[in-house]
Amino acid sequence: MIELDNKRILVTFLMHLGDLTLTTPFIHALRKAAPKAHITFLADEKLKDVVLHNPYLDEVITIDKKGKDNSLLALWACARKLSTMDFDVVINLHPNERCSFIDAFTKTKMRTGTTHTIFKWAWDKFIPLDRTIHAADMYLKVLTDLGVEKLEHNGLEIFPSDEHQKGADEFWRNHGVFASDKLIGFNIGSAVVTKRWAPERFAEVADRLAAKGYKPVFFGGTMDEEMVDEAVAKMKTTPIIATGAFRIGELAAAMRRCSLIITNDSGPMHVAISQKVPIVAMYGPSIPKLYGPYTEKAVIVTAQPPCMGCKDGMKHKCDHADKNNCMTRLMVDQVVQAAEDMLAKYGEN
């Protein structure tokens, strides 16, 4: 067992939005296991809102991994900076090259967690990630392997600041949303093309729920604008367009206002879950067991009968002769029924 309490601990993680959100149960559990520790988290500058206001962290340090810090020299400078902070324990949660490089050259009394193979020599206690379980549980298992017996957490958690909440509230006011309005959010994008359900099907679902008195809201980032435009062009009703309008913290605060989020498998799906919003998630080639909604307030909709071409959830592709068969056979009626069931079960904001 490695003693964690009363230590200066650095946790490093430089992956994507959804992946970073899935580390938040680990953060909560680490604080519960080490209440007197000083815990610092290293994250990507563009995603810092996920952890910046987390009450279980003492400090957040960032690097702009795809921007000004996208060089070995910048990573070396980060390691030198971290070396001055006198950490007792460094815990790395993903074996990507950037984190592994930074951690390998950060002076510390102990390096643990996972790492890229070429840096394994620098680790005092190497902990391979268990890829057979859900990603959130995979990160929590690192604590178990360090000797933590009781894992206390509250699922996925992002803590928007007062400024983030103010920005979200202002957006709703400017778009004529009143306290009595019932909102249903739609996230139609995904970084992986094969995870995307067709925009025209999202449009039909939005229209059918609008006819029942709900106001549809389209979320997503600037990269999703073309898909949202395509969906809106097919609609008979007029939705609220929030695509590209929010930083991550504001997005989390805005999603709180929704009665339900209907979404592809994506980073914003995990952001919505962090705000305890009910979810209807469309899944095709990826396996929910590994990266699915980490909440009981979710229903997963898949093609029926199940697609037999999706055998490996890490590849994110359908091997059926008709490519993307798993998503094209996922029907509008299924999603509408799932939405109605979730609204009946969890009520409305």
What does the H/E/C string look like for 155-212?
Answer: CCCCCCCHHHHHHHHHHHHHCCCCCCCCEEEEECCCCCHHHCCCHHHHHHHHHHHHCC
- How many whole angstroms separate alpha carbon 332 and alpha carbon 205? 6
Angle CA 292–297–298, to nearest 5: 40
Local confidence pLDDT in tens for the 349 residues of the chain: 789 999 999 999 999 999 999 999 999 999 999 999 999 999 999 999 999 999 999 999 999 999 999 999 999 999 999 999 999 999 999 999 999 999 999 999 999 999 999 999 999 999 999 999 999 999 999 999 999 999 999 999 999 999 999 999 999 999 999 999 999 999 998 888 888 889 999 999 999 999 999 999 999 989 999 999 999 999 999 999 999 999 999 999 999 999 999 999 999 999 999 999 999 999 887 788 889 999 999 999 988 766 655 655 555 555 554 566 778 888 999 999 999 999 999 976 6
CA distances to 231, 291, 295, 325 from 202, rounded to whole Å, are 7, 22, 23, 17
Rounded-to-integer distance, Cα 332 and Cα 345, Å: 20
Supply the pLDDT for residue 328. Answer: 82
Specify the pLDDT at position 321: 44
pLDDT score recorded for residue 82: 98
Asked whether 26 and 143 are in contact (CB, 8 A), the reply is yes
Please tell me the predicted confidence (pLDDT) of residue 305: 66
How many CA atoms are closer than 13 Å to the CA of 153, on its beta-carbon side?
A: 27
CB of 261 closer than 8 Å to CB of 278: yes
What was the pLDDT predicted at 307? 61
